[in-house]
């Protein structure tokens, strides 16, 4: 059974940092692109970033470029989203998803940016 | 403002059919596959339709997808109260090099 479990969310002040992790199981992690998608409270889905199978290619939505970094560890079956210079508008539920198109999703981890 | 345009809401009585449109451009829907997601209240999104018209294993065949040019459509027949959810379309945008979602359509069963 495919499982994706996010962790690392929490309350952070504007300008702060958080590191989100996604632990994957139930599939051969190293052969799939992985993505992060977020959803602000009461709003729609916003794709944030993805990473290819070996970590050599990464794409980001403009609003997070230069502030967020996606990475992966195929030995540990995990994908990480390092979030720096956080802003209030980054407040959202962050989902980890398999593939760019998201054929499987985790349950999300909540990030709140507030003073 | 989303790159993909969806109606904010649609509604119909139980047993009826609804269709949800998703309009884009040549850089996304026109040249890339469309995916459809269902998000039940309080839950994570779930993929329903992949590659324009293929239903994921376990998804009832009441759900169907189609694509023509720069537009795509999700159809739900035999509407049930359990189908009340937000539905999103998504596609890769080759010009922006990002994945884009529609704003989401709320389906209400009257």
Segment B44-103, tens digit of pLDDT: 999 999 999 999 989 999 999 999 999 999 999 999 999 999 999 999 999 999 999 999
What's the rounded mean pLDDT across residues A92-104? 96
Task: Identify from B44, B65, B87, B95 which residue to disrupt to test chain A contact, counting A C-beta atoms within 10 A and taking the largest count.
Answer: B44
Contact partners, residue A85, CB within 8 Å, separation at least 6: A15, A17, A67
A95 touches A108 (CB < 8 A):
yes
pLDDT > 70: what percent of chain A? 100
Determine, for residues B47 and A100 on separate chains, whether the beta-carbon distance falls below 8 Å.
Answer: no
Which residue in the set B44, B100, B101 is minimally distant from A108, CB to CB? B44
Q: Please determine, for residue B6, whether its predicted confidence score (pLDDT) is greater than 70.
A: yes
Q: Is B35 helix (H, G, I), strand (E, B) or coil?
A: strand
User: Cβ of A84 under 8 Å from any chain B Cβ?
Assistant: no
Task: Identify from A101, A103, A109 which residue to disrupt to test chain B contact, counting B C-beta atoms within 10 A and taking the largest count.
Answer: A101
Per-residue DSSP letters for chain A?
--EEEEE--EEE-TT--EEEEEEEESS-GGGS-EEEEEE-TTS-EEEEEEE-TTS--EEE-GGGTTTEEEEEETTTTEEEEEE-S--GGG-EEEEEEETTTTSEE---EEEEE--
Determine, for residues A45 and B90 on separate chains, whether the beta-carbon distance falls below 8 Å.
Answer: yes
Q: What are phi and psi of A14, to 5 degrees?
A: -55, 135
| CA of A114 vs chain B CAs: smallest distance (Å) | 23
A96 touches A8 (CB < 8 A):
no
Q: Please determine, for residue A103, whether its predicted confidence score (pLDDT) is greater than 90.
A: yes
pLDDT at B2: 80
Confidence tier at A52 by pLDDT (50, 70, 90): very high
What's the rounded mean pLDDT across residues A4-31? 98
pLDDT at B74: 98
| pLDDT tens figures, B31-61 | 999 999 999 999 999 999 999 999 998 999 9
Which residue in the set B37, B97, B101 is minimally distant from A59, CB to CB? B97
- What does the alpha-carbon distance between residue B50 and residue B38 come to, in Å, rounded to a whole number? 12
What's the rounded mean pLDDT across residues A45-64? 97
Q: Please determine, for residue A87, whether its predicted confidence score (pLDDT) is greater than 80.
A: yes
pLDDT at B1: 67
B18 touches B76 (CB < 8 A):
yes
pLDDT at B90: 98
What's the rounded mean pLDDT across residues A67-82? 98
Task: Return the percent helix, strand and coil in chain B, to nearest 5.
Answer: 5, 50, 45
Which residue in the set A46, A103, A108 is minimally distant from B101, CB to CB? A46
- What does the alpha-carbon distance between residue A27 and residue B51 come to, in Å, rounded to a whole number? 21
Confidence tier at A49 by pLDDT (50, 70, 90): very high
Dihedral of alpha carbons A12, A112, A47, A5, sign: positive
**What DSSP designation does B56 have?**
P
- What does the alpha-carbon distance between residue A33 and residue A54 come to, in Å, rounded to a whole number? 9
Burial environment of residue A16 by CB neighbours within 10 A (0 to 12, 13 to 18, 19 or more): middle
pLDDT at A54: 95
């Amino acid at each position: 059974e495919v499982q994706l479990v996010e962790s690392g969310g929490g309350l952070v002040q504007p300008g702060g940092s958080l590191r989100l992790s996604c632990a994957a199981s139930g599939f051969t992690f190293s052969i799939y692109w992985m993505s992060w998608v977020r959803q602000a409270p009461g709003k729609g889905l916003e794709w944030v970033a993805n990473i290819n199978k070996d970590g050599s290619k990464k794409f980001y939505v403009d609003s997070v470029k230069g502030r967020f970094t996606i990475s992966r560890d195929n030995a540990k079956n995990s994908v990480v989203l390092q979030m720096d210079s956080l802003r209030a508008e980054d407040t959202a539920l962050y989902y980890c998803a398999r593939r760019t198109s998201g054929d499987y999703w985790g349950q999300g981890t909540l990030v709140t940016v507030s003073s | 403002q989303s790159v993909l345009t969806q109606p904010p809401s649609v509604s119909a009585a139980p047993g009826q059919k609804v269709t949800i449109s998703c309009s884009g451009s040549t850089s996304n829907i026109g040249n890339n596959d469309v995916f459809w997601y269902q998000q039940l209240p309080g839950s994570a999104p779930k993929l329903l339709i992949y590659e324009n018209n293929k239903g994921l294993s376990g998804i009832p065949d009441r759900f169907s997808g189609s694509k023509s040019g720069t537009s795509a459509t999700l159809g739900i027949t035999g509407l049930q109260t359990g189908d009340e959810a937000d539905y999103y379309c998504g596609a890769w945008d080759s010009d922006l090099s990002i994945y884009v979602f529609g704003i989401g359509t709320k389906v209400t069963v009257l």
